Amino acid sequence: MTQLTFTLKQPLAHSLDCAQLTPDLLKGLNISQIGAISLHNQRVSDLFEITGDDTENIIFKNSSQYFDNVGKNMTFGSITLEGDAGAYLGFGLKNATIHCKGNTQAFAACNMVSGLLKIEGNTGDFLGGASSGLRKGMRGGTVIVKGNAGDRVGDQMRRGLILIEGNVGDYCASRMIAGTIGVLGSVGEYACFNMKRGTLLLAKLPKLHATIQDCGTHTLPFLNLMFKSFKPFKTQFSNIETKRVQRFVGDAACSGNGEILLVSHSS
Amino acid sequence: MIINGVQIDETFAEAFNMRGTRVIITAQNLKWAYHAANAMTGFATSVIGCGVEAGIEREMTEDETPDGRPGVSILMFAMGSKVLMQQLETRMGQCILTCPTAAAFSGIDSDEKINLGKNLRFFGDGYQTSKLISAKRYWRVPVMDGEFLCEETTGMVRAIGGGNFLILATSQPAALAAAEAAITAMKKIPNVIMPFPGGVVRSGSKVGSKYKTMFASTNDAFCPTLKGATNTELSPEIESVMEIVIDGIGFDDIAESMRVGIQAICDLGESSGVKRISAGNYGGKLGPHHFKLHEIMSGHKL
């Protein structure tokens, strides 16, 4: 079996909802059946050149920022985007893997439950956040971002791990309920705004607001466990060797018990 | 059967079903891991008076422990799951939580989970935080030396307790020296502990007593000072008897530990003063697990 590959024939001028092109929904279909699926009143075969027959492992070639909802609610298999992705990449992802080799738009890993989402480029706002109306964002799984992320990373995040090698925007970990976010680059203003619990692991200290309190520098044994768990993802976080961190706690404005752990790393 | 001049009685050790768990204790260095582990396994020689039987299974290197610090693994056994859970929580709270730099982790996987740090976390008075790392939940409890780190649960498995053998020697020093040699060898076997002081017990018991309030009393048939006063099991030259009791995760683990222990004694030879190896049982009617000495020492598959 060869991977099921969708190669975009013509560049898109508008967004395309790709939610139907997941291993869950394509299981058991042959190429002609897949080609007959309608996306925005266009047949999939009109939009894509389709090859391969392994619906559990899907590749999008020539993908662009207009590819919305890629991997939505998928529960098994893998999707690889050899290009950019649009909004809501990995929405509700559960026990599956998505690898985007380009950039993505906002709301990547929104409502994610488990699995792995890897983004080689940059991603937009609300990474790992909640969809409109929900009070809990990402509930599990791992997100790796090699580039930068926008504002509100991990907004209302409930559980899981987000590792960002680049910079992030403002309001990182805002309203965070639990989980872990790591950022090796710079962080914008108002980090941990209204943070309840959880950990924001940073390599550079951002400008903190008054309700984030410095608790001093400590050697924390649990960092051994946490850094060991980062190793399989082969990120620059594996280069962190120190177990000594400066600990900040907040957001005191909402009686929060979240923390910023500031480490120095050798990369 | 005679091995190197030492007689192996044709008898068996009778053992019972128990519930067991393993906990990994780590600390800043091995010295403090032992302080914690010794406290936790203290007063845990027999379920009769201690609730549980516990002991240190082995040392663990930094590469083997979850948090990359030196540690030791502890095995703990009880007659039922409820007692095991109660004792584990009590001992965790009083011995590990209190010990500087100590942390505790699950040492055994099982579908049945029992609390390790699940309730201890409330010592944090709301400042405790949890971390879910690689599908395991850990609790970080702020304490005066920094943070107490503890996994939320550990596994509970079916186990066996009461494997044993008796060392019959011509003198007390000879019996003790043989017991020490056996314990040294047996400590290399995984999944077992010898819960009594130094791994050795001198007060083997029989079921019942002339006193109504006692349900166990001295094993007079093996007491050398009663040779002329009771229905003795000892020949005239026997002056001292020591017992080694073994608890383990599985039947084969206990059998193997008995084999290496008895072999270590036999290797000392007849000149060491050890004349016989025997075992304690209740006629085979109480315990479902029978460790037959001849089969164990002849290498037969049990």
CATH of the domain at B202: 3.30.70.520
Q: Does A222 sit within 8 Å of B131, measured CB to CB?
A: yes
With beta carbons less than 8 A apart as the criterion, state whether B26 and B148 touch. no
Residues in chain A with CB shorter than 8 Å from the CB of B141 are none
* Cα A152-A158-A160 angle, rounded to 5 deg: 90
Find residue A217's DSSP bridge partners: A246
**Residues A156, A162, A167, A173, Cα dihedral to 10°:** 20
B138: nearest CB among A159, A222, A259:
A222
Residue-range definition of the domain harbouring residue A207: 106-262
Tokens of A47: 């939009």
Alpha-carbon distance of B148 to B127, in angstroms, equals 12
Q: Does A225 sit within 8 Å of B129, measured CB to CB?
A: no
A239 interface with B at CB cutoff 8 Å = no
Residues in chain A with CB shorter than 8 Å from the CB of B127 are 257
With beta carbons less than 8 A apart as the criterion, state whether A48 and A7 touch. yes
Angle between the B172-186 and B251-268 helix axes, to the nearest 10 degrees? Answer: 130
Alpha-carbon distance of B149 to B57, in angstroms, equals 21
Query: Is there a domain that residue A245 lies in?
Result: yes
- Above 60 in pLDDT, residue A36? yes
Query: Is there a domain that residue B302 lies in?
Result: no
Query: Is there a domain that residue A25 lies in?
Result: no
B222 with B140, same domain: the answer is no
Share of chain A above pLDDT 90, in %: 93
Along chain B (302 residues), what's the average pLDDT of each consecutive run of 10 residues?
A: 94 96 98 98 93 97 95 97 96 97 97 96 96 95 97 97 96 97 97 97 91 91 95 95 97 96 95 95 86 88 50
Q: Does B132 sit within 8 Å of A159, measured CB to CB?
A: yes
A-chain residue closest to B27, CA distance: A221
With beta carbons less than 8 A apart as the criterion, state whether A229 and A211 touch. no
Q: Strand A38-39 to strand A78-82: parallel, antiparallel, or no bridges (unpaired)?
A: unpaired
Question: What is the sign, positive or negative, of the torsion defined by CA atoms of B115, B120, B122, B124?
Answer: negative
Residue B95 carries which DSSP code?
I
Indicate the SS3 state at residue B117.
Answer: coil
The kind and range of the H/E element at A140 are: strand A139-145
Indicate the SS3 state at residue B45.
Answer: coil
Residues in chain A with CB shorter than 8 Å from the CB of B146 are 218-221
Residue-range definition of the domain harbouring residue B186: 2-14+160-297
Model ipTM?
0.90
B239 with B256, same domain: the answer is yes
- Of B106, B134, B157, which closes a domain? B157
B87 with B186, same domain: the answer is no
B129 with B194, same domain: the answer is no
A221: nearest CB among B127, B130, B149:
B149
Q: Strand B6-8 to strand A139-145: parallel, antiparallel, or no bridges (unpaired)?
A: unpaired
Query: How many domains is chain A partitioned into structurally?
Result: 1
B150 with B81, same domain: the answer is yes
A219 interface with B at CB cutoff 8 Å = yes
Find residue B142's DSSP bridge partners: B147
Indicate the SS3 state at residue B186.
Answer: helix
Q: Does A219 sit within 8 Å of B149, measured CB to CB?
A: no
Predicted confidence at residue A40, as pLDDT, reads 84
- Of B138, B157, B176, which closes a domain? B157
First to last CA, chain B: 17
With beta carbons less than 8 A apart as the criterion, state whether B75 and B191 touch. yes
B284 with B169, same domain: the answer is yes
With beta carbons less than 8 A apart as the criterion, state whether B52 and B8 touch. no
Question: What is the sign, positive or negative, of the torsion defined by CA atoms of B275, B276, B277, B281?
Answer: negative
Query: Is there a domain that residue A99 lies in?
Result: no
Close Cβ partners of A53 (under 8 Å, ≥ 6 residues apart):
A1, A2, A4, A30, A31
Question: DSSP string spanning B21-41?
Answer: EEEEEE-SSHHHHHHHHHHHT
pTM: 0.91
Q: Does A229 sit within 8 Å of B134, measured CB to CB?
A: yes
A221 interface with B at CB cutoff 8 Å = yes
Query: Is there a domain that residue A172 lies in?
Result: yes
- Closest Cα in chain B, distance from residue A100 (Å): 23
Alpha-carbon distance of B83 to B87, in angstroms, equals 6
Alpha-carbon distance of B188 to A180, in angstroms, equals 40
Alpha-carbon distance of A146 to A129, in angstroms, equals 18
Residue B164 carries which DSSP code?
E
Q: Strand B12-26 to strand B289-292: parallel, antiparallel, or no bridges (unpaired)?
A: antiparallel
For A204-234, write each residue's pLDDT tens digit: 999 999 999 999 999 999 999 999 999 999 9
Indicate the SS3 state at residue A91.
Answer: coil
Tokens 């983004």, located at residue: A119
Query: Is there a domain that residue A166 lies in?
Result: yes
* Cα A249-A224-B74 angle, rounded to 5 deg: 115
With beta carbons less than 8 A apart as the criterion, state whether B20 and B163 touch. no
Radius of gyration of chain A (CA): 19
CA–chain centroid gap for A138, Å, is 9
Query: Is there a domain that residue B117 lies in?
Result: yes
Instruction: Give the 3-state secondary structure of B188-252.
Output: CCCCEECCCHHHCECCCEEECCCCCCCCEEECHHHCHHHCCCCCCCCCCCCCEEEEEEEEECCHH
Binned at pLDDT 50, 70 and 90, residue A266 comes out as: very low
Close Cβ partners of B80 (under 8 Å, ≥ 6 residues apart):
B19
- Closest Cα in chain B, distance from residue A185 (Å): 23
Name the average pLDDT for chain A. Answer: 95
B134 with B176, same domain: the answer is no
Indicate the SS3 state at residue B109.
Answer: coil
* Cα A229-B126-A175 angle, rounded to 5 deg: 65
B153 with B254, same domain: the answer is no
B-chain residue closest to A159, CA distance: B132
* A·B CB contacts under 8 A: 46
Close Cβ partners of A133 (under 8 Å, ≥ 6 residues apart):
none
Binned at pLDDT 50, 70 and 90, residue A267 comes out as: very low
Query: Is there a domain that residue A70 lies in?
Result: no
With beta carbons less than 8 A apart as the criterion, state whether A147 and A168 touch. no
- Of B123, B157, B191, which closes a domain? B157
Find residue B292's DSSP bridge partners: B12
Query: How many domains is chain B partitioned into structurally?
Result: 2
B138 with B212, same domain: the answer is no
The kind and range of the H/E element at A25 are: helix A23-26
Q: Does B69 sit within 8 Å of A219, measured CB to CB?
A: no
